[in-house]
Homo-oligomer: A and B are copies of this chain.
Amino acid sequence: MNPSTLIGILSSMVLLGSVLFFAAESPGSFLNLPGLAIVLAGTMAATFISYPLREVLRVVGLIGVVFRRENTYVRDDIQELVDMSRLWFKGDVRAVEKALANTRNPFLRSGIQLVISNTKEEEIIDLLSWRIARLKAREHAEAQVFHTMAAYAPAFGMIGTLVGLVNMLEVMEAGDLEIIGPRMAVALLTTFYGILLANLVFKPFAVKLERRTEERLIAMNMVLEGISLITKRRLPSFIEETLNSFMAKHHDEIRDPS
C-alpha cells in the first residue's frame, strides 16, 4: 500500500469515527461489552468450527498484508527473465546460475532451474501451471475465510439483539416502561457491532485479498509465458518485446483520444 492509500484509509476512518462520535448522544452509551463479546465470541466460535485453527491463524497473519505496501515486481521480473534468456541464449549456464542466486522470485527461479536441467517444455509448463493453480486455490480459500466471517458477524449481531429484546420484554412484564428505551438501545448495539465489523473489517479484507491474488496471478502467468518462450529458444529481443507488450498501458484499448 503506497502512502496515498494509507492517507485515504486513515482520513476516511477518522471522518467516520468523528461523525459517529458527534452523532452519538453520549458516546459512552455506544460501548456495550457483553454485546461486543457475543458478536466476537460467536463469530470466532463459528469460524473455528468452520476452519482448522492453523488456517484461521494463517489468515489472521494476512491482515498485515492488507496494510502493507503492495508493490508488484512485474517490471523487475520481466527484466530478470530477459537478462537470463540472453545469458541462456549465449549458452553461459554459469552466469544464469549466478543470476538465479540473486533473483528474489522463487517461482521464476524454479522455472529457470527446470530450463537449465533440460526438462521437457511440456513438463515445465505442467509443473509451473500446477503451482499457479495451487496458489490460486490457497489464496482464494484465504479470502473465503474473511467472506465467511463477514456472513457470521451480522448473524451473531442479530442473535445478540434477540437476546437483548427477550430480556427487555421479560422486564416489561412489570410494566416498568421507563427502562425499556436504554435496554432496547443496548440490544440494538450488537446488531450495530455485527454490521460494522462485517462491512468495515471482514468484507474489505476479503476483497483486498482477492484483488491482490488477481494481480499476483497476472505476474505469475507473465513469468510462465516468458519461461515458455525461453524453452522454445526464441530470441531474447523477441521475448522482451512480447512481455513488454503484455504490460503496455493504453489510455483506451480500442480508441485513441481525439
* A→B interface (CB under 8 Å): 1-2, 4-5, 7-9, 12-13, 15-16, 19-20, 22-26, 29-30, 34-35, 37-38, 41-42, 44-56, 66, 70, 73, 104-108, 110, 123, 127, 130-131, 134-135, 137, 141, 148, 151-152, 155-156, 158-160, 162-173, 175, 178-182, 184-185, 188-189, 191-192, 195-196, 198-200, 203-205, 207-208, 211, 214, 216, 218-220, 223, 242, 245-246, 250, 252-256, 258
Contact = CB atoms under 8 A, between A and B. Distances in A.
Contacts of A258: 104
B167 A173 contact: no
A181 B188 contact: no
B192 A163 contact: yes
B41 A19 contact: yes
Contacts of A53: 2, 4-5, 7-8
Given A12-B44, A16-B41, A192-B159, A211 B178 contact: no
The 4 A-B residue pairs with the shortest CB-CB distance in the complex, in nearest-first order: A172-B181, A49-B204, A12-B45, A169-B185
A18 B42 CA distance: 11
A155 B195 CA distance: 7
25 contacts: A2-B52, A5-B48, A5-B53, A9-B49, A12-B45, A13-B45, A15-B41, A23-B163, A25-B167, A25-B170, A26-B170, A51-B207, A51-B211, A55-B211, A73-B254, A106-B256, A130-B246, A141-B211, A155-B195, A159-B195, A162-B195, A166-B189, A173-B178, A173-B179, A216-B253
B254 A105 contact: yes
